[in-house]
């Protein structure tokens, strides 16, 4: 006998919502962010992180930042807290300490594996300990063990970064929350560095569980002006002419769900251009920042080809996709008549406007705008497939300058593979990346631009779209300096980054790091071409004495070299310990240990020798994160119903593997995806025999959505169990006519893949 059951139906637009706990020992289950369901057990404090406070100071072009995380255990059991948080990709994290009452324990930098072993040993011995690990260069995980009842533990982190002005404006960015990541990796494939993906989130619109505070002090040496913050309410003051202070308004105490961005300029829009020298005990460091010429004549700019690659996945639903549409319309409508362009949309599938790039005439531009406006957002984020498709587009003319523009929130975990692909093609393509959303994966956005010798651009607010579109046009319309070379003369430099300076496409300073030996002497000359003219600028070192205030240069140089090794290693960036013998990994580890820096292969560890727990159970709690402001619940799954019966979970991921040209619309169930899943919930009968035998898994169906909307050619691509295979096919046959896909303006037959995952979930477990 078969029995119809109540079901819990989930719309899986980006990732599964099953918690890590339910995925243990199940190799075919993917890493998954999930919506948190807090335990009702009063003995467990589910929210041990109570406050994050940030104090930043800027001297010249160098920022020094201190982050304090306060953990409190108000429950009745000893806790281990795990907290995932973002960090600036430009940050050099050089210090950590743990404070318990009046005791201060300064953290040591150790090789990652040793630090993890030391932490686990201290945890098992009942000692308080804190471990800071890097999961990605912009994602960190803090573990704090044996937080005793009524304990207050403060962990303090310190980092420094270089601020690079653009058009005379400086911008300090503090990332607040790591957004959910789409991943197809299963537990067997995932490394320890991937575990942050299975992080709990609260629903969109819910305020962070912890308090947030922020203060920025700017000391520039010359008058500071136009200090603004559009992301948060700030109390801004000027204690002195050359100083400014921005403090978070108390009303923003729950403002930790979006990045903090503070902009300012110096009197006359001046740039701190020139040389900075630091003389250390065993090594000397320099930094050269040069403001290139402002403009070139328009007639010297060649015609170009632009390929716009746009993310329309589930995490882009709503605000991010709306902004993307506005941005793309703005960019395409302002192309020059002799430019060529194409548009490629990607989610779980890839849709290409045309097999060849088109002339930027009014008819083609109108077609492209309609193509973009038809998107709603849904499905996975198949970035690699989109990039491969874009690189395969025939080049219309070998003399045209090709530029890729990728628009995404970056919620994927294929950074390594994307960097490898872009690097392989970087010699013939400029690369710009737009990050859209209140909190984006800046490492991916910035890394793609770095590998493609282009520039990253971040849009966090709706009104930023037009400004960033204008900024992009300035970059592509005015290549201010090319064929750049640095001549150091008698200045004995070594370990210079970058080894060669790429073309500069806008009014942005050129940055060169390095070390030097002996006493600075002679001149450093930078030369290049702007338009048809030669360019040259010299800096005479006798007039530039070393300054002990520039000690951060040693951290910044080491971070730049580490970043270079991360990106440029022969096998691409690796998060796996299996690459431990790789020469680049060895060099990164050595740099981290020598300069006391966090890397993917070094970690900070602090251990309090006092034993606080000899017996009893240590409860591990993952600190839930707020969904970044403006990001839809689709980024981690969308809850449609919660019927507490046997709780059978049916997951659907809708994907389309084929690549079509001129695809204005993919096939859709009447009423959209939500209506499809409601239909499945109302019609699927989970066979009782399968329930009793505990059968779980995935059935993948393939069927044709004909031009008239009918369903034909149903095929089981992946079988699970005869009972479940049969049930999946039966329900598809019951479906009403779909809205057919359209290609070149006409309804067409299209195949559709529908994976249906049947999974049993026990009561009282997390969703």
In a shared domain, residues 449 and 576: no
Are residues 458 and 398 located together in one domain of the fold? yes
Q: Residue 579 sits in which domain range?
A: 272-296+481-594
Residue 629 lies in a domain: no
CATH number, domain at 392? 3.40.50.410
* Dist. CA 766–CA 199, nearest whole Å: 12
User: Does 117 lie in the same domain as 260?
Assistant: yes
**Residues 384 and 508 both lie in one domain:** no
Phi-psi region of 167 (alpha: psi -120 to 50; beta: other; left: phi over 0): left
Point out the domain boundary residue: 466, 490, 517.
466
Q: What confidence tens digit (pLDDT) does each residue in 196-241 have?
A: 777 778 877 888 999 999 999 999 878 899 999 999 999 999 998 8
Residues 184 and 118 in one domain: yes
DSSP conformation class of 250: G
Residue 473 within a domain: no
How far apart, in whole angstroms, are the C-alpha atoms of residue 664 and residue 71? 51
* pLDDT score at 477: 63
What is the C-alpha separation between 499 and 687, in angstroms, rounded? 64
Q: Is residue 630 part of a domain?
A: no
Question: If DSSP codes are grouped into helix, strand and coil, which group holds residue 309?
Answer: strand
Based on the fold, state whether residues 164 and 239 are members of the same structural domain. Answer: yes
Residues β-bridged to residue 718: 700
State the residue for tokens 């940050």. 91
Q: Does residue 279 sit in the same domain as residue 291? A: yes
Residue 392 covered by a domain = yes
224/151 Cα distance (integer angstroms): 42
CATH of the domain at 191: 2.60.40
Read off φ and ψ for residue 735, nearest 5 degrees: -65, 145
Tell me the Ramachandran region of residue 764: left when phi exceeds 0, alpha when psi lies from -120 to 50, beta otherwise. left
Q: Is residue 628 part of a domain?
A: no
Q: Are residues 410 and 544 in the same domain?
A: no
User: How far apart (Å, rounded) are the C-alpha atoms in residues 303 and 427?
Assistant: 18
The verdict on 117 and 11 lying in the same domain is: no
- Examine residue 765 and state whether it is found in any structural domain, yes or no: no
**Dist CA 405 CA 431 (whole Å):** 6
- Domain shared by 501 and 604, yes or no: no
Backbone angles phi, psi at 303, to 5 degrees: -65, 150
**93 token code pair:** 């994290």
At residue 386, what are phi and psi to the nearest 5 degrees?
A: -65, -45
Preceding peptide of 498 cis, ω within 30°: yes
Asked whether residue 169 is assigned to any structural domain, the reply reads: yes
- Which residue among 431, 466, 501 closes a domain? 466
Same domain, 555 and 611: no
Amino acid 51: pLDDT:
96
Among residues 441, 466, 491, the one where a domain terminates is 466
CA distance 758 to 329: 42
Please check whether residues 330 and 451 belong to one and the same domain: yes
Q: Establish if 740 belongs to a structural domain.
A: yes
pLDDT score for 579: 44
* 470, two tokens: 């204008």
Q: Is the peptide bond before 316 cis (omega within 30 degrees of 0)?
A: no
CB atoms within 10 A of CB 222: 13
pLDDT mean by block of 10 residues, the chain; 767 residues = 35 27 41 58 80 94 94 91 87 95 94 95 94 88 93 95 84 89 62 72 85 94 90 94 94 94 80 80 91 60 79 79 80 82 83 89 86 71 88 81 85 82 75 84 85 81 77 68 81 84 66 92 84 77 90 93 70 41 83 95 94 82 83 53 29 33 65 77 77 77 89 86 88 90 77 75 40
Q: How many CB atoms lie within 10 A of CB 146?
A: 24
Contact 410, 445 (CB under 8 A): yes
Bridge-partner residues for 549, per DSSP? none
Number of domains in the chain: 4
Q: Where do we find the tokens 């690659």?
A: 309
């Amino acid at each position: 006998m078969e029995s119809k059951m109540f079901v819990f139906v989930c719309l899986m637009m980006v990732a599964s919502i099953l918690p890590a706990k339910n995925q243990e020992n199940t190799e075919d289950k993917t890493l998954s962010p999930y919506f948190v369901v807090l335990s009702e057990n009063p003995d467990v404090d589910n929210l041990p992180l109570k406050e994050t406070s940030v104090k930043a100071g800027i001297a010249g072009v160098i920022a020094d930042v201190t982050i304090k995380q306060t953990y409190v255990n108000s429950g009745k059991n000893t806790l281990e807290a795990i907290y995932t948080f973002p960090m600036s990709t430009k940050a050099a994290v050089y210090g950590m300490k743990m404070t318990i009452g009046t005791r201060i324990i300064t953290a040591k930098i150790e090789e990652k594996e040793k630090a993890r072993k030391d932490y686990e040993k201290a945890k098992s011995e009942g000692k308080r300990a804190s471990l800071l690990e890097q999961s990605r260069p912009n994602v960190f995980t803090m573990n704090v063990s044996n937080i005793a009842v009524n304990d207050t533990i403060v962990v303090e982190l310190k980092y420094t970064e270089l601020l690079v002005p653009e058009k005379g404006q400086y911008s300090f960015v503090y990332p607040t929350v790591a957004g959910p990541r789409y991943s197809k990796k299963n537990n067997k494939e995932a490394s320890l560095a991937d575990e942050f993906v299975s992080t709990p989130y609260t629903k969109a619109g819910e305020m962070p569980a912890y308090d947030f505070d922020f203060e920025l002090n700017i000391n520039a040496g010359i008058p500071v002006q136009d200090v603004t913050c559009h992301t948060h309410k700030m109390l801004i003051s000027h204690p002195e002419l050359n100083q400014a202070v921005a403090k978070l308004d108390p009303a923003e105490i729950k403002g930790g769900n979006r990045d903090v961005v503070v902009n300012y300029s110096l009197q006359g829009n001046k740039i701190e251009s020139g040389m900075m020298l630091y003389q250390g005990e065993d090594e000397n460091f320099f930094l050269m920042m040069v403001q290139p010429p402002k403009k070139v004549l328009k007639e010297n700019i060649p015609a170009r080809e632009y390929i716009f690659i746009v993310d329309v996945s589930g995490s882009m639903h709503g605000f991010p996709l709306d902004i993307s549409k506005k941005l793309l319309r703005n960019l395409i409508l302002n192309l020059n008549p002799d430019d060529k362009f194409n548009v490629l949309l990607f989610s779980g599938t890839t849709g290409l406007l045309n097999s060849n790039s088109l002339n930027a005439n009014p008819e083609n531009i109108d077609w492209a705008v309609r193509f973009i406006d038809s998107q709603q957002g849904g499905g996975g984020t198949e970035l690699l497939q989109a990039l491969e498709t874009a690189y395969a587009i025939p080049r219309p003319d070998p003399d045209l300058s090709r530029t890729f523009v990728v628009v995404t929130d970056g919620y994927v975990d294929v950074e390594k593979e994307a960097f490898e692909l872009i690097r392989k093609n970087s010699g013939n393509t400029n690369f710009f990346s737009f990050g859209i959303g209140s909190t984006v994966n800046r490492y991916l956005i910035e890394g793609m631009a770095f590998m493609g010798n282009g520039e990253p651009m971040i849009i966090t607010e709706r009104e930023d779209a037009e400004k960033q579109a204008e900024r992009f046009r300035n970059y592509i319309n005015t290549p201010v300096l090319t064929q750049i070379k640095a001549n150091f003369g008698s200045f004995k430099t070594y370990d210079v980054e970058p080894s060669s300076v790429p073309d500069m496409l806008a009014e942005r300073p050129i940055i060169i790091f390095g070390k030097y030996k002996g006493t600075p002497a002679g001149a450093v000359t930078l030369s290049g071409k702007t338009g048809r003219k030669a360019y040259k600028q010299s800096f005479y070192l006798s007039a530039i004495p070393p300054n002990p205030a520039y000690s951060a240069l040693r951290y910044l140089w080491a971070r730049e070299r580490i970043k270079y090794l991360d990106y440029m290693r022969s096998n691409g960036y690796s998060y796996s310990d299996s690459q431990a013998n790789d020469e680049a990994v060895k060099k990164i580890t050595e740099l981290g240990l020598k300069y006391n820096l966090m890397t993917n292969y070094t970690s900070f560890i602090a251990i309090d020798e006092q034993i606080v727990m000899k017996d009893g159970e240590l409860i591990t709690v993952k600190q839930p994160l707020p969904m970044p402001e403006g990001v839809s619940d689709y980024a981690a799954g969308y809850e449609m119903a919660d019927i507490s019966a046997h709780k059978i979970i049916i997951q659907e991921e809708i994907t389309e593997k084929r690549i079509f040209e001129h695809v204005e619309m993919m096939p859709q169930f009447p009423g959209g995806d939500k209506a499809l899943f409601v239909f499945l919930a109302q019609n699927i009968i989970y066979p009782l025999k399968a329930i009793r035998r505990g059968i779980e898994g995935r059935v993948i169906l393939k069927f044709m959505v004909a031009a008239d909307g009918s369903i034909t050619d149903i095929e089981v691509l992946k079988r699970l169990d005869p009972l479940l295979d049969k049930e999946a096919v039966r329900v598809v046959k019951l479906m009403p006519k779909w809205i057919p896909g359209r290609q070149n303006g006409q309804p067409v037959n299209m195949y559709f893949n529908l994976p249906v995952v049947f999974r049993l979930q026990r009561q009282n477990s997390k969703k």
